[in-house]
Amino acid sequence: MSDNDLKKYLQAKIKMTVPNKIEDIKSSPEFYVKRSSVTFKNRFRYSFASILILIIATLSIVFKTDDISTIVSLDINPSIMIMLNAKEEVVNLKGNNSDGEELINDLNYNKLNVEEVVEVIMTRALEQDYILDEDIILLGIESDDEELKNSLATKLNEKIKNKMMTKNKNVDVIIEKFASKGNSDELKVSNAKDKIIMELIENSNYTIEDYQVLSQMKIKDLNSMMKENEADEKVEQKNGNNGNSNKSNKPNN
Amino acid sequence: MKEYAIEKLVCELSTGNLDVFDQIYYETKDLVYYVIFNILRNDLKAEELMQEVYLNMLRKVSNYKKKNFSAWIATMARNMAINTYNKEKRISYMDSQEMEFVFKSDSNSDEEYLLNDMRRILNETEFEVVLMHVIGNITHQKISDGLGKPIGTVLWIYNKAMKKLRAGLEVK
């Protein structure tokens, strides 16, 4: 018997017919297409996404990127501090003295990076004749990130020098780099200037009582005093004087 | 009707257009019925459940992801039939091996004997394939969609089943 014959035999013997239930189905009160609803899986997905967004939003509020991670200070004689966040965005500007405050007055630093802010400050300082030929600008960089400190120092030094060259000013830039230690708010002096003053106090007859007076001086004058002091020391050493120096290059009060 | 034509109808149905329901029903009812019947082995219960399967399909069709409708509804029918079978098994403690095919009182008893003989000779899948193809006139392609097996496997199962039946039924 072939497959075909067997098939015919089975078909003849089994008269099974598939019942037609279409009318029963159509008469059922449930005969309608249920609107697509949010399934449990989708509901879970939406809930998860909402929670995630909420967490991100909360975290971004809690850990605002306005935390200061780097401070760039500029001492021209106006003294200015530029605070940067971890993304190197300028988050605050502060004048350490009245000239500094005046120089940054109305400066909108939003959406500007540190190089752009330094450019604006330098332009204003030149316009207001704070920077003279042969002057010295003290650039201080405070950060715990060594790589960042070095890259900022290179970038900003170049920026200041290029700016001065366009105005034919021969200006020197002294760079001081520190680990973060907070700014000397009470003294109204940048940490870079503070370092130079303290060095001068240590190596000369100036005392801590002179700090206030020294902090008012231009970097150029402080630098000259340091050099004079070093020259005097050399002369005294040659003359056999054992350190009883009697330097009197105190600034006039 | 080709599977893509059914997919098109199902797409319309999922938007709420019930006018296409008849076409979908007639294209799939045989497959659905035999899937259920093979599990429940009772034509009256299969008939009742068949209605439930289509109403359930209407409830879920708006979430149907375009794949293979025949396979989708066959799987739904199989799951619902297994649930019904398990429910009844719990009540009557029926042993699946001893479970015979039961037909309505007006049906031919020869038919029942033959089906029960076939069931004894063939395994579950072989019986399902033969029942769908020989009695239900369902194409091998559609059976392959419904069972979720490659068409080559379905053809091989069918040929093996026919060989077993030839030897087992002692048909002259």
Nearest one of A141, A118, A114 to A131, comparing CA atoms: A118
Which position has the token pair 């975290």? A59
Chain A residue with minimum CA distance to B24 = A22
pLDDT at B164: 92
Where do the domains of chain B lie, and which CATH numbers do they carry? 3-167 (1.10.1740.10)
Are B134 and A7 in contact (CB < 8 Å)?
A: yes
* Sign of the torsion angle spanned by Cα atoms B150, B152, B155, B159: negative
- Contact between chains at B111 and A32 (C-beta distance less than 8 A): no
Note the pLDDT of residue A129: 84
What is the per-residue pLDDT for B81? 94
Nearest Cα residue to A16 out of B3, B62, B61, B101: B101
Strands (DSSP E) along chain B, which ranges? none
Task: Give the count of alpha carbons within 13 A of A56, CB side only.
Answer: 6
Report how many domains make up chain A: 1
Q: Across all residues in chain A, what is the average pLDDT? A: 81
Count the neighbouring beta carbons within 10 Å of the beta carbon of residue A147: 8
Cβ–Cβ gap B162/A16 under 8 Å: no
Residue segments in chain B with a per-residue pLDDT below the cut of 70: 90-108, 171-172
Residue A33's φ and ψ, nearest 5 degrees, are -90, 120
Regarding an ipTM greater than 0.85, the answer is no
Q: Tell me the chain A residues in contact with residue B34 when contact means C-beta distances shorter than 8 Å.
A: 18
Could you report the per-residue pLDDT of A64-105, keeping only the tens digit for each? 666 777 889 898 888 898 988 877 788 888 888 888 888 888
Instruction: Kindly give the parts of chain A with pLDDT less than 50.
Output: 243, 245-248, 252-253
> Number of C-alpha atoms within 13 angstroms, CB side, residue A109?
23
Residue keyed to tokens 């899986």: A41
Model pLDDT, residue A245:
47
Determine, yes or no, domain membership for A226. yes
A192-212 burial by CB neighbour count: b if 16+ within 10 A, else e?
bbbebbeebbeebebeeebbe
Q: Report the alpha-carbon distance of residue B102 to residue A179 in Å, rounded.
A: 90
Residue recorded with tokens 């020098």: A161
- Measured CA to CA, the distance from residue A250 to residue A234 in angstroms comes to 19
Q: Which domain holds residue A201?
A: 70-238
The answer as to whether A161 is a domain residue is yes
